[in-house]
Every structure is written in structure tokens, then in C-alpha cells.
A and B are shown apart, each in its own frame.
Chain A
Amino acid sequence: MFTRHDSLRPGYEAVIIGAGGHGLAAAYYLARDHGMRDVAVLEKGYLGGGNTGRNTTIIRSNYLTPEGVRFYDESLRLWQDLATDFDLNLFYSTRGHFTLAHTDAAMRTMRWRAEVNKHLGVRSEAVDAAFVKRMIPMIDLTCAGHAPIVGALFHEPGAIARHDAVAWGYGRGADRRGVQIHQQTEVTGIRVKAGRVVGVETTRGFVATPKVLCAVAGSTPRILDMLGLRTPIYVHPLQAMVSEPVKRWLDPIIVSGSLHVYVSQSARGELVMGASLDPYELHQTRSTLDFAESLSSHMLDMFPFLGEVKINRQWAGLADMSPDFAPIMGITAVEGFFLDAGWGTWGFKATPVCGKTMSHTLATGRNHPLIEGFSIDRFARYQLTGEKGAAAVGH
């Protein structure tokens, strides 16, 4: 599936830092759509070993801002054909996605998102509690009496996929088109001359290149420090856990902001579960017991019959958060240095569209129209995206 290369070439037309889904997707589309095959993807660990392999694989486009909805909806469209493109089963499974509302205030936000989605042709609907019960009959609508469900945002195209396979598919596709993927190769410096990128230093020597794409999620600040670029990105761990396989009982994907739960059942029968971001900065993927405790408690509030189902494993990834819950993408103040970051907790679903838009941006030197709202300079201009609007409504 992949070629193992013994050494780096002295130079490449472009270097991509990070062999996660985003970096490999960019490499794939560079080679396939832009004819750029003299490309190296450098990875300090192993392919797909970061957040690509650690997320809970939810794919949706029910965002709040028009720029967000358009961007993620394009991603959703790309997802549909990936398996055929790759000749690889990604287990892309459309399940329907419920964001539960437990208060009137939350319900208002659901309606806001539904209205924006529908306006842009995305299938989302604000639904009442009876609809939730009809679609998920086993749910306890009162949530153990703690947080009665008043309704939900129902997003029919919501899907899950086999996350690792996405990295393998893009990686294999890129590899077959001549892109070199180098694992266990860490970037230690970026050489800039007169404001332009000229190459990268690595643990396996210097590589000359005029174009560098940084797609390293939680490691973004470390790469940017090499260039003296500043961003609002802050890194917190995001944890998840998975149960032993049980027979199929849950089809839709269920999210509750109030209970801090998201859950789906994988094709193998495992319950894949996540909660909110860890509350403080940390660059380490340790697990905590209180995460497993509170998530289990909230799971049982919704599904009281799961008490005997066992948690098999918990893990964590490093989320590169941005203050307005939107990514930071595109060209930067350093010519030839391109950024694909600020993916926080929402990066997996964007993998294809990031590959598409970043490859375009890299090849042309100009931001793709779909990512114009996500540029790094929006903070200095006080032009933040409104994606946090949904999250900030707390009353």
C-alpha cells in the first residue's frame, strides 16, 4: 500500500508537514488535480497516528455560519465518492445526526442552525422531543430527570467513517502518484530567506523546497515558533473512549451539549463516545478517570440500560483550538508557507475539503474562495467568524 523510501531527495516542489488525513489529502489532490508529484510528506510519528486516528469520526455539515456550512457541505459531497476514488471501503455510513436540546435557549440555537442550513440547501431540521423519541425509541427523554430533552437539530446526512482508512486511502493514492511519504521524520526548522521559504531542516537532513504546508494539528504552535508567526491557537487534550462490541442497537449519531456526550455505534458494534475538551492546556495524550466517570454517568442518563456494557479503552488527542471555533487556513505572512490549522475538535469531517482547498492554495499561491473567511489575519482585523455564536449562547 505504501512505499518505504530509504532517503529523502535533496529537494521537492513542495513539502507537507504532517501525514495525517489533512496533509495526505492535500498531497493526494496536489498530485491528482494539480500535477504536482514532486512532493514529500514528512511525519514525525506514523501515518494517521495523530487526530486522524483518535477522533470519533463524525461527519456533518450542520454549522451555523454560511461560510462554515458551505465549506463543510463541500466536504460532505467529496466524502461520498472517496471510497470509489480510493477503491477502499471507508465504511462511510450515513446514520443521521441528532444534536439534542435540553433547554429553550438551546432549542433556539438548533432552529438558527436549521434555518441557515436549509437556506443553503443542507438537510437539517429543528425537531421536537416526540420526533426524537420516534427515531431513538430507547432514549430516556427525561435524561434521568436531570435534563429533559425538549427537541433537537436533526441532520439527516450525518455520517461516520473508518477514520484510519481515510489516511490510508489518501496516503496510498498519493504514494501511487509519486508523492513520497516519510514517516519517523521530524521537522526541526524551516529555512526562510528574504521572507520566502527555501527549505526545511529535518532529523534526516535538510530538504530544499519553495512551498511548505503545515498540517500538524496540536503541533502547530511549535512549527509556527520556528517562523516567528503568532496565532490564537491553544492546545487542550480531547478524550474519547470505546466500549466492547455489542450487537447493533443504535443507528443515529447522538450529541448532547448539556450532558457533554457524543456517541455512535461503529460497524464493529463498539460504542464510540466523546465529551467536551479538557479544561486546561496540555500537550500530552494521557487519559483521566474523571473523564470516563462523567461520560459514563451521562451516557446512562440517556441510555439507562447500558450499565453492564463495558468500557474497553480510553485515549486522547491534542486539539488545536481557535477562539472562534473556525479553522485558520491559507497563505501566511511568510511567502511559500501555508497553514492548515485551528482544527480543534472539528477537523476529521473536513479532511477532503481541506485537501482540495489547500492543494489549490498551494498550487496557485492564492487562497481558495471557500477558505477566505478562515485566513490567519482575521483576528487582527477583528473579523472573527460567527461559529462560536452557537456555543456562546449559554442561558
Chain B
Amino acid sequence: MAPSRLGHVMRRLDPHPGEWIDRSLPLGFTFEGREYHGFSGDTISSALAAEGVTYLARSFKYHRPRSILSFANHDSNVLLCVDGVPNVRGDVTPLIAGMRIEAVNTHGGLALDKARILDYLGRFLPVGFYYKAFHSRRYFAYWERLFRRMTGLGQVSLHAVRRATPKRYGFCDVLVIGAGPSGVAAALAAARAGASVTLVDEGMRCGGSAVSHAPLQKLIDEVYQSASISVRPQTEASGCYADHWVALVDRVRLTKMRAKAVVFATGVIEQPAVFRNNDLPGVMLATAALALLSRHRVSPGRRIVMIAANLEAYEACLALSAQGIRVEAIIDLRSQQEALDADAEMQNCAALGMEILHSHAPYRAIAGPDGAVCGLDYGPLDPNLRVDSRKLRRISCDALLMSVGWAAAAQLLQQCGGKTRFCDSLQQFIPDELPTGTFAAGRMNGVYEIAARIADGERAGALAAAHAGHGRAGDAPVPRSTRRPSHRFPIIDHPAARNFVDFDEDLQVKDLENAIQEGFDSSELLKRYSTVGMGPSQGKHSHMNALRILARARGISPGELGLTTARPMYHPVPMKYLAGRSFHIERRTPLDSDHAAIGAVWMPAGNWRRPEYYARTGENREQSVAAEVRAVRNAVGLIDVGTLGKIEVYGAQAGIFLDRVYAGRLADLRVGMTRYGLMLDESGVIVDDGVVARLGQEAFYFTTTTGGSATVFRELLRLNAQWGLDCALVNVTGHRAAVNFAGPLSRDILQPLCNVDLSEAAFPYLALREACVAGIAARLLRVGFVGELGYEIHVPAGRAHELWQALMEAGRTLGLRAFGVEAQRVLRLEKGHLIVGQDTDGLTDPIEANAMWAVGMKKPFFIGQRSLKILAARGPRQLLVGIEISAAGRLPRECHLLIRDGEIAGRVTSILRSQTLGKAIGLAMVVPELAASAGELAIRGEGGEMIAAKIVPTPFYDPQLLRQKAVTAA
């Protein structure tokens, strides 16, 4: 009997109880520019199939037409571009009205794809072909451009807008992954024991792939009624991480679930048979056909041939027949003897007129003029599992279903450390060692009959609840199936190949065999060389068959080879869900709005933002910075230094503690005085600096660099825990604001605001006073960082604004300017002060930084001391020196190199033109020979021009420190 129409056509059938579509809600959409209609409840693939669209996509490599295979979230051949979103899976994506859908990976549309020529060239493109050709230096670039045009699947829209999708955190006693019979039973058992349960499934509804089973439906109803079970359909468990931390991805967001116990009821994934043209549209898994039919009422075809190797094949045929779909023939790979486990079902099928052929196998599917399947050549199977091509018979059909076996969906279980072993009788990997708190149930466990699956779920659910502290449970295992649900080698050789093992990557049997022949003969090597399992479906349909091919070639069992490592993600996850809302730390000092009000131009400093300078109308950046510097040198300036780390240390041994962590001597610091402190690491490298003040006999207050404050404080806490000295540390960085009020007029302006005597005699250089400034309790530190008479004023953060306004007001008519980080850099460089991290690098010690004046080598111990002794004996590898450039013209920039005799002899670490001094000054890290020579040197500037400079002593400005010490005349 000839088919009514050549080729494969699906269509929508009449309504049927239990269907998932809502025929009262038709949805219009376009595919490749043409208008179609589906119903609410359709997926994209089911709607297109119902409209008779034969094929939905082109394959990755050969651009062969492809359509539905699994209809279970593994159809990575049907990746679509939907409203500009690339690589959307048609089989599971719900249809929405108005969707604009295009095929991906075509050159000129699905039907006329120019790249389909690759299918004919394919025999010239064996596996590893790409490694063997086009690698000459001359042609590679050209060839790569070509290659990159062909690869890549979907197109990213460079104008897509970022949508922040907030994440959620979830907590439960028992997480059950998979809502098939065993998962549903596990959830109920755990809930009954008193556990809070979350039940997730990637499908639209509970029940898994099992269809219309009355006892199961009753359990599902119970699950929905249970107050302690949260059911989350359309939710993928994408990754299982340490300590039961599971990534759940639904159609809106990522939920990070922390469970006390996890039940893996993830089931099995139906596997395809491998034979020539097994990828034609119309060739699909039996579970796909059943789901299409019962959920969406899409008929898989009018004349169906089933390729069978298990009981499920016959059950599927009966189910199809019950819904009015005609099954012509069942081609069973097994002998009648081997098929006895389906004896009753076979008889029923035969009674319905289906032709049953045992020990037969498909040899090749035949494509009709539209590219879809229209027939099958099949033949008897010999004991070596080869088809005798001389005894072929042809049968016409418009759909070819495959039910030959299953692979355990053990990927999630493996991700969290579960081990599997191969079970020869089941021809399936089953869980072997499970990490604490994880349990497996159902078909993944090798339990196939529905009542047994429910029992196995109940067992696992009760165990999981007990692990989470709810109830007690014994572990009486549910026996595994004794029948054989999976064929041991559903793979048929064909001299002309096109018998696809991996649909994602278009890999055929011979591709794998050739790779094995070349020595890529372990699971991992075979995967990497052939790329089997590397595509979007991550081998869910290809790993088992590839393993069987490898095992046959090596003459061993698949169990001896083992699976490749399973890694997250189980299904690919859009980056927007993983990214969520984007959080970044930005710290602002309490004076932030005061800065903004007077034109602050911001720059980042660690996590903080700080004013680089204050812009004023009529001034450019350089002019503003210069004016700020002039104000400090000639009148007074005010800078926010609140980003410095600020730490207090209290206790009888506080002084001893600081003596051990700072290189300089501090224990002898007098109360009311301050001292510069240099901090080293154990290898003698400078890591931080600051000012240490003694508040009292047992109290110190000190600052750290802005960038180092958090790490320095944390390390000091550790040292305090380790040494156990009698002292305690408090980080007051956020509690306290600080400003530096500096310039020759600073004392005169500050005195009227302040309740302590600021005279030189009463409050000398480097002293500290607790005082009241503008009515605010403050710590005043006489510091000299910018080289003028000046006071650091530290106040509670909440009073900073008042202080700032009072100082600004007091200095308003006297030339006061707020100054920013850039002016401070100028001022400090004029003084020759180094900045840790800019003028020092990751290996600079105090000898090299010319900072031994701040080191007390005679102390009993400080961190870095012992290494410094070794470094002193080794001698410096570089030295920090002052440099000066007298010539006008372009300056070198920081990090430009010093060149001597054609060799690198150092680098500029800081440089700028000092208006105060009328010349360019800087610091440079140079080789010791050069430092000693004190002569002329050459710097290679921008564009390679050589700039003459000379080494000069520092400080450049006021070398006797008269100004900061406020000595009136020298």
C-alpha cells in the first residue's frame, strides 16, 4: 500500500481528554517570515509540527534538515532565533503569540540554505579533517575567516538590552529533582515524615514521561495538596554544587537552593538507534511521538514504523494505536527469545495488525523529495549485529520511531561527586557511591516498572527526610528490573555512513572509528578529538552509543571505559540569570556631597571615589590643580583624607604589638605624639605605610593606605589571634572622617575654632591633641605629608559635614581652597614622599626605597626583620632616587624607562612639572650603579624620544622641613 503522500507530514488531531493545549486560545506567530498558528499550551516545535512544517533547522556541520528528535529539552538540533534571542530550544519553549522565529545556522534561509552543499562534500570532511588541513601560515587566516562564517549557530544581537533578573535563595529539607513517578513518591514520603520539600521538574507538568497512569495521577494530586511540598515545574536543576547547593533555573530567574538532602529522580534519557539517515525529519524517539500525541495532539504520522529493542516499544505502539495512529510494522533488533519480556504486548500488537519482525534492524531510512523520511530499508541482523545488505526489504512510512534503550540521567548526581558503575544486564550506568545526603530513585536506579519506581521513590524520600532530621527510615532496596530495557548495541554500520551518533556535531560511526584507529582510544580522548558530546546537548544522546563503539573497537565492556566527567550546566543557562543584578561596591566618604557641591571631578581609589580636583569655571584641569597647590603652599588647603584606613589598638601590650607589626620603633612613642610607620611582609617587602599616634599609655590610633585598609586590618587581627598579646584592635575607618588642613595660614584659621592652644610650644610638629573643633570632638595630628604646617583633623563621621563647612567658612576670605588627590600628589612629590604601590612594586624592600630611616633594625623582632638582614647582605637590586628634568618640552610619563648603554636601567615611578619649583621632578627606581653615579641619565619618552634627566637628592622642596615644622626663619 502506497502512502497517501510521499514524505512526512504531521497534523493536529481532534480534541482528546487530558491534552495540554487550550484550543480556545489560538496563537499566531511567524517562522522564517511565514505566518502560522498554534494553541496556548504548545511548544514552538509542537505548533510547527502541527502546521505540517517538515523541518525546523539545519545541522551544525553538514547543514542537513533536522526536526524533532526527543521533544524533551535535548533537541539541540532545533535551536531557533526567537525575537532576536539566539539558540532557543523549540521542543520545550512555550509558544507565545506574536513570536518571530527564524532558523539558525542557515545561509539564505532554511529551505534554500546554500551551505547544504556541505552534506555532499561531507565525505571529503572526515573526522579530524580540520586538524589535517589548511594550517599553512599562508592560507590559515583566509580559511579561518571562512570557517568562522560557517560555525557558530545563532546570531547575537549586539543591540540587545541587558535585563537584570534578580536571583532568589531557597532553603528546604529535601530537594527532589524530577517529578516522574519516583520523584513524586519521594516528595510525598519525605513530606509525610515531616520534611519541607521542594519538587522540581524541567517539564511543564508533573508525571515525567509516564502518561495516563491512574495511581500516579492520584499521587500527583496529593503532591499539589500537600502544604509542605513546593512544586516547581518548568524548573531545571542546572548544576549541583558542594554541600547540596543547587542551581535552579526557571523561565524567570536563578534560584540558589540549599537543601539538607537531595533525591535524584532524574530518570533516564531515551537513546536513538544509529543507522544511515537516522537524522531525517520524521525519525524520532518513541517518547517524543507519544508526548506530541498525548499532550499536543500532534499526530507523528499516518504510517508508522517502530524500531524496537525493549518492552517500551510495544507499549508505545499500543498507546499510539489506542489513539488512532496506525503502526505498520515493528522492526525488533532482538530475537523472539530475547523479546519475551514483551510477550503479551507483542501479541496485542500483532492482533492489531502490526507486522513484527524479530532479529531485524534498520539499514537506512529513505528521504522523500521534501527531505523527510518516506521509507525504510531493513534487513535481518546477524549475531555480530550487522545487517546483511543483500537481504534488504523496503517499507514505506512517514514516521520512524525508535525505542531501543535508555541512558541514566546521572549528570547532576555526578556533579556533586556521585559515582556510577555499568550494569551489564541493564546495559546502563547506575548510581554506585552516593555522597552523604544524596539519594537516587527510579529508572536511573535501574528500577523500571511503575509500581517499583513509586516504591523506590518512597524509599529514597524517607531516607532523605531522615537525613534532614525528620523521621527514621530503613534502606530496604527496591529490586532492579530483570528485563532488558536497553539494547547492548543499537548501532548499524553502513558503508556510506550518515549513521549519526552525535546529532549536535554531525558525527557518524566511521568518524568515531577513525578517531579510535588513530589512537584516541579512551573516553576522554575520543570526546576531545571527535568532539562527540561537546555540543549544546552535552552528549545526552551520543555518549552511550559512542562508548559502545569504543568498547567494541577495544574489545572490552563500556563499564571498563567509564563515562567522561559530567560538569555543570545540565542544560545551558543564559548568562542573564547567572549574572542577576550586578552588584559593585562603591564607598563614599561622609563628605561626598560637600565635594559634589563644589565641582569635584571624581576618580576611583580602591573601592572609594575621591575628588581628583575641583573644577571651576574658567579653569582647565591643569589650572585647577595648580591653583589648589598654590593655595596650600601660600595660604591654606583642605583635603578629605577619610578614605585612609583608621585603626585603634588598646591594651597593655598594644605598644609591643605595633612594634612587631611595624618596621619602626613605636613602643617608646610618647603619649600625644605621632610617628610614620612602615609595614613589611615576611619577605621584607613594603606592603603599607601610615601614621601611628599614641592616645594614651595603652591606646594607639593609626592610619593605613586607602587601598590596603581592609587587608591590613584583617592581617593584624590574625597576628593578634596568633600572638595572643594583651591588646585588641578596632577598625574605625567607617566611623571616622578625616581631613588635612594644611598651609601657612592653617594655624591662624584653625585657632579660633579650636579649644586647645595650637602654638608651636604647646602643639609641636608630629604631636597629637584631643580637642574640640567647631564644637566637634576631634583628634588633631600635626602631620607634614604635603610639606606645610598642617593638621589632620579626625572626627566622628556624622559630624564631618559640619567640620568641613566650618573650615571652609573660616578660610573663605583667606584664600582657602579644597584640594583633590592630584594636587596632593604634586605636593607630596615636591617633598619626595613615596606612595606605596606606585613608587614601590611587589618586590621593593625599605633598603631599595631609601626608607631605612623608618626601620628599627635593633628592635627584638618585627615582621620582615629577619628577611631584611638577608636582603641587606644581598644588596639592593634597584634604588629609589629623585630625578629632575630641566629642559622644557614633553615630559616622560610614569613607567617610562631609563636607558643606559641600550639596556633598561630603571623606570620613572612618579613625574610631574612642579610650578612651585619651576621644573619637572620625579622619582625613579634605578639600578644601583646608576644611583651611585649621580650623573646624567636618559629616559625614553613617548614615541621613543630620549629625554635627559639627572639624579638629585630629595626632598625637592624645603629639604630642611622648616615649613612643616613651622620654623619661622632658618
Instruction: Determine whether A and B are in direct contact in the complex, meaning some CB atoms lie less than 8 angstroms apart.
Output: yes
Interfacial residues, chain A to chain B (CB-CB below 8 A): 1-4, 45-49, 53, 66, 80-81, 83-84, 87-94, 102-105, 108-109, 111-112, 115-116, 119, 138, 144, 146-147, 162, 164-165, 168, 183, 243-249, 267-269, 286-289, 292-293, 295-297, 299-301, 304-315, 324, 381-384, 386, 388-395
Report the minimum CB–CB distance from B641 to chain A (whole Å): 14
Q: Are A164 and B159 in contact (CB under 8 A)?
A: no
Contact of A91 with B144 at beta-carbon distance under 8 Å, contacts A305-B159, A311-B575 already known = yes
Contact of A388 with B843 at beta-carbon distance under 8 Å, contacts A111-B896, A292-B568, A395-B835 already known = yes
CB neighbours (8 Å) of A245 from chain B are 60, 151-154, 536
Q: Are B582 and A269 in contact (CB under 8 A)?
A: no
Q: Are B144 and A314 in contact (CB under 8 A)?
A: no
Selected from A93, A104, A389, the residue in CB contact (under 8 A) with B603 is A104
CB neighbours (8 Å) of A103 from chain B are 603-604
Q: Are A293 and B580 in contact (CB under 8 A)?
A: yes
B interface SS class: loop
* Contact-size category for B: 35 or more
Residue B194 lies at the interface, judged by CB distance under 8 Å to chain A: no
CB neighbours (8 Å) of B245 from chain A are 289
Selected from A299, A301, A386, the residue in CB contact (under 8 A) with B842 is A386
Q: Are B154 and A246 in contact (CB under 8 A)?
A: yes
Give residues of chain B (127-185) contacting chain A, Cβ–Cβ below 8 Å: 130-137, 140-141, 144, 147-149, 151-163, 167
The 7 closest A-B pairs by CB, nearest first: A392-B842, A269-B152, A2-B519, A307-B576, A310-B572, A304-B162, A89-B135
B207-219 to A contact mask, C-beta < 8 Å, 1/0? 0000000000000
Report the minimum CB–CB distance from A335 to chain B (whole Å): 27
Selected from B137, B162, B239, B683, the residue in CB contact (under 8 A) with A307 is B162
Residue B690 lies at the interface, judged by CB distance under 8 Å to chain A: no
Q: Which partner residue on chain B sits nearest A53 by CB separation?
A: B528
Give bound CA distance, A81 to B135, whole Å.
10
Give bound CA distance, A311 to B579, whole Å.
11
CB neighbours (8 Å) of A138 from chain B are 158
Give residues of chain B (562-595) contacting chain A, Cβ–Cβ below 8 Å: 567-569, 572-576, 578-580, 582-584, 586
Residue B707 lies at the interface, judged by CB distance under 8 Å to chain A: yes
CB neighbours (8 Å) of A162 from chain B are 131
Give bound CA distance, A116 to B144, whole Å.
32
CB neighbours (8 Å) of A312 from chain B are 536, 538, 569, 572
Report the minimum CB–CB distance from B284 to chain A (whole Å): 23
CB neighbours (8 Å) of B841 from chain A are 386, 389, 392-393
Contact of A307 with B520 at beta-carbon distance under 8 Å, contacts A46-B525, A93-B144, A389-B842 already known = no
Q: Are B155 and A246 in contact (CB under 8 A)?
A: yes
Residue B395 lies at the interface, judged by CB distance under 8 Å to chain A: no
Q: List 22 A-B contacts (CB under 8 A).
A: A45-B524, A81-B137, A88-B131, A88-B135, A89-B134, A115-B895, A146-B586, A243-B572, A244-B572, A267-B147, A286-B417, A293-B254, A300-B582, A305-B157, A308-B86, A308-B574, A308-B575, A313-B569, A314-B567, A314-B568, A389-B843, A395-B837
Report the minimum CB–CB distance from A40 to chain B (whole Å): 16
Give bound CA distance, A249 to B242, whole Å.
35
Give bound CA distance, A87 to B134, whole Å.
10
Contact of A394 with B521 at beta-carbon distance under 8 Å, contacts A115-B895, A115-B896, A305-B157 already known = no
Give bound CA distance, A47 to B151, whole Å.
27
CB neighbours (8 Å) of A300 from chain B are 162, 575-576, 579, 582
Contact of A248 with B525 at beta-carbon distance under 8 Å, contacts A91-B144, A394-B707 already known = no
Contact of A115 with B162 at beta-carbon distance under 8 Å, contacts A248-B148, A292-B578, A307-B574 already known = no
CB neighbours (8 Å) of B707 from chain A are 394-395
Contact of A4 with B579 at beta-carbon distance under 8 Å, contacts A147-B584, A247-B153, A395-B706 already known = no
Give bound CA distance, A246 to B149, whole Å.
10
Further contacts, 8 of them, CB under 8 A, given A243-B575, A393-B837: A80-B137, A89-B140, A111-B894, A248-B148, A300-B575, A306-B575, A310-B87, A383-B874
Selected from B156, B529, B569, B842, the residue in CB contact (under 8 A) with A306 is B156
Residue B484 lies at the interface, judged by CB distance under 8 Å to chain A: no
Residue B867 lies at the interface, judged by CB distance under 8 Å to chain A: yes
Q: Are B907 and A287 in contact (CB under 8 A)?
A: no
CB neighbours (8 Å) of B161 from chain A are 304-305
Residue B652 lies at the interface, judged by CB distance under 8 Å to chain A: no
Q: Are B158 and A87 in contact (CB under 8 A)?
A: no
Report the minimum CB–CB distance from B730 to chain A (whole Å): 24
Give bound CA distance, A360 to B380, whole Å.
61
CB neighbours (8 Å) of A87 from chain B are 132, 135
Residue in B156, B167, B582 whose Cβ sees the most chain A Cβ within 10 Å: B156
Selected from B86, B518, B870, the residue in CB contact (under 8 A) with A382 is B870
Give residues of chain B (75-96) contacting chain A, Cβ–Cβ below 8 Å: 79, 85-87
Report the minimum CB–CB distance from A381 to chain B (whole Å): 7
Give bound CA distance, A295 to B580, whole Å.
11
Q: Are A244 and B87 in contact (CB under 8 A)?
A: yes
Give residues of chain B (822-850) contacting chain A, Cβ–Cβ below 8 Å: 835-838, 841-843
Contact of A391 with B131 at beta-carbon distance under 8 Å, contacts A287-B568, A307-B163, A382-B874 already known = no
Give bound CA distance, A43 to B176, whole Å.
40
Residue B871 lies at the interface, judged by CB distance under 8 Å to chain A: yes
Q: Are B569 and A48 in contact (CB under 8 A)?
A: no
Q: Which partner residue on chain B sits nearest A309 by CB separation?
A: B575
Report the minimum CB–CB distance from A353 to chain B (whole Å): 19
Give residues of chain B (58-87) contacting chain A, Cβ–Cβ below 8 Å: 60, 79, 85-87
Q: Are A305 and B162 in contact (CB under 8 A)?
A: yes
Residue B705 lies at the interface, judged by CB distance under 8 Å to chain A: yes
Selected from A2, A91, A92, A244, the residue in CB contact (under 8 A) with B536 is A244
Report the minimum CB–CB distance from B254 to chain A (whole Å): 8
Q: Are B86 and A89 in contact (CB under 8 A)?
A: no
Residue B940 lies at the interface, judged by CB distance under 8 Å to chain A: yes
Report the minimum CB–CB distance from B645 to chain A (whole Å): 13
Contact of A249 with B842 at beta-carbon distance under 8 Å, contacts A267-B147, A297-B580, A312-B536 already known = no
Residue B256 lies at the interface, judged by CB distance under 8 Å to chain A: yes
Q: Are B156 and A305 in contact (CB under 8 A)?
A: yes
Give residues of chain B (276-301) contacting chain A, Cβ–Cβ below 8 Å: none
Selected from A116, A164, A309, the residue in CB contact (under 8 A) with B528 is A164
Residue in B132, B149, B841 whose Cβ sees the most chain A Cβ within 10 Å: B841
Q: Which partner residue on chain A sits nearest B581 by CB separation?
A: A297
CB neighbours (8 Å) of B580 from chain A are 293, 297
CB neighbours (8 Å) of A393 from chain B are 837-838, 841-842
Selected from B79, B140, B149, B524, the residue in CB contact (under 8 A) with A46 is B524
Q: Are B567 and A269 in contact (CB under 8 A)?
A: no
CB neighbours (8 Å) of B60 from chain A are 245
Q: Are B895 and A89 in contact (CB under 8 A)?
A: no
Report the minimum CB–CB distance from A291 to chain B (whole Å): 10
Residue B480 lies at the interface, judged by CB distance under 8 Å to chain A: no
Residue in A1, A53, A88, A389 whose Cβ sees the most chain B Cβ within 10 Å: A1
Q: Which partner residue on chain B sits nearest A162 by CB separation?
A: B131
Q: Are B579 and A297 in contact (CB under 8 A)?
A: yes
Report the minimum CB–CB distance from B122 to chain A (whole Å): 18
Q: Are A288 and B242 in contact (CB under 8 A)?
A: yes
CB neighbours (8 Å) of A249 from chain B are 156, 158
CB neighbours (8 Å) of B137 from chain A are 80-81, 83-84
Give bound CA distance, A123 to B136, whole Å.
23
Report the minimum CB–CB distance from B150 to chain A (whole Å): 9
CB neighbours (8 Å) of A47 from chain B are 525
Q: Are B904 and A246 in contact (CB under 8 A)?
A: no
Contact of A89 with B242 at beta-carbon distance under 8 Å, contacts A297-B580, A392-B842 already known = no
Q: Are A115 and B573 in contact (CB under 8 A)?
A: no
Report the minimum CB–CB distance from A163 to chain B (whole Å): 9
CB neighbours (8 Å) of A324 from chain B are 842-843
Report the minimum CB–CB distance from B155 to chain A (whole Å): 5
Give bound CA distance, A315 to B519, whole Å.
25
CB neighbours (8 Å) of B574 from chain A are 307-311
Q: Are A297 and B149 in contact (CB under 8 A)?
A: no
Q: Are B871 and A382 in contact (CB under 8 A)?
A: yes
